[in-house]
């Protein structure tokens, strides 16, 4: 098996009108896309992970004629959303291309700071080459790297946001999890240019997210 890691970069209209409206809201951040499926009627089912204000997100979903149904869950400012949306040619074209060439996503997919979607597609070399002409208009693929695919233990780590990964790496490197503990939240905050309280809040969310998936 081979993989291609790339960034899906949509034009200014976005991948889907609902996704675009959410992306444009200042109080909601798209973090991860845990699943996306194209149904037989060309409607699309997604499972998002957002951060931010749930009361800002819900009116977008309630008011959009492109939303068939949705459900929200989560704690604090982490929001998980099941969203079933109506067909939209650009996204249908992209998902149809991936289905045609039998690609598999290594989930979750991560939204970049510039609004793209970082994906790892698993398939064979010939499929990657043949798929390029089928990329729909309004979407650009930026290839990051390719190689032989081997499942690994990065899946939990990949569920963290870029900022959470940065804070966790810094905490580990500075000795926060050493015994005895070598640094404080304030020390890490000084290194990262933020407050110790911000570091502590992020680390609690990181630990909650990772440990809840490890402990049976």
Instruction: Report phi then psi at 53, rounded to 5.
Output: -95, 110
144 and 206 part of one domain:
no
User: What is the full per-residue pLDDT of the chain (216 aa) written as tens digits?
Assistant: 788 889 999 999 999 999 999 999 999 999 999 999 999 999 999 999 999 999 999 999 999 999 999 999 987 778 999 999 999 999 999 999 989 988 888 888 989 888 899 998 888 878 888 888 889 999 998 988 888 776 655 666 777 888 899 999 999 999 999 989 999 999 999 999 999 999 999 999 999 878 876 665
| Domain span holding position 161 | 154-214
The whole-model pTM stands at: 0.68
Can you give the CATH number for the domain in which 169 is found? 1.10.10
How many other C-beta atoms are found inside a 10 Å radius of the C-beta of residue 60? 16
pLDDT tens string 132-172: 888 999 999 898 888 877 665 566 677 788 889 999 999 99
190 and 143 part of one domain:
no
Could you tell me the two tokens for 73?
Answer: 């869950």
Among 148, 166, 187, the domain-final residue is: 148
Count of structural domains, the chain: 2
180 and 204 part of one domain:
yes
Among 148, 179, 200, the domain-final residue is: 148
> 44, 33 in Cβ contact below 8 A?
no
């Amino acid at each position: 098996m081979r993989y291609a890691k790339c960034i899906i970069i949509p034009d200014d209209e976005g991948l889907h009108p609902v996704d675009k409206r959410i992306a444009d809201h200042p109080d909601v951040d798209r973090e991860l896309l845990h699943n996306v499926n194209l149904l037989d009627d060309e409607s699309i089912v997604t499972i998002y992970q957002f951060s931010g204000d749930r009361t800002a997100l819900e009116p977008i979903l309630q008011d959009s004629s492109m939303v068939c149904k949705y459900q929200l869950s989560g704690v604090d400012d982490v929001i998980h959303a099941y969203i079933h949306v109506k067909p939209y040619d650009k996204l249908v074209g992209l998902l149809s291309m991936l289905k045609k060439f039998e690609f598999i996503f290594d989930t979750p997919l991560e939204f970049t700071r510039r609004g793209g979607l970082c994906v790892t597609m698993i398939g064979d070399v010939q499929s990657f080459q043949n798929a390029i002409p089928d990329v729909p208009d309004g979407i650009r693929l930026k290839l990051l790297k390719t190689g032989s695919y081997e499942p690994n233990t990065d899946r939990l780590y990949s569920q963290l946001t870029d900022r959470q990964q940065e804070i966790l790496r810094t905490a580990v490197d500075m000795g926060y999890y050493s015994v005895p503990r070598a640094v404080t939240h304030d020390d890490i905050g000084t290194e990262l240019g933020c407050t110790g309280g911000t570091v502590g809040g992020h680390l609690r969310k990181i630990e909650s997210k990772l440990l809840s998936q490890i402990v049976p």
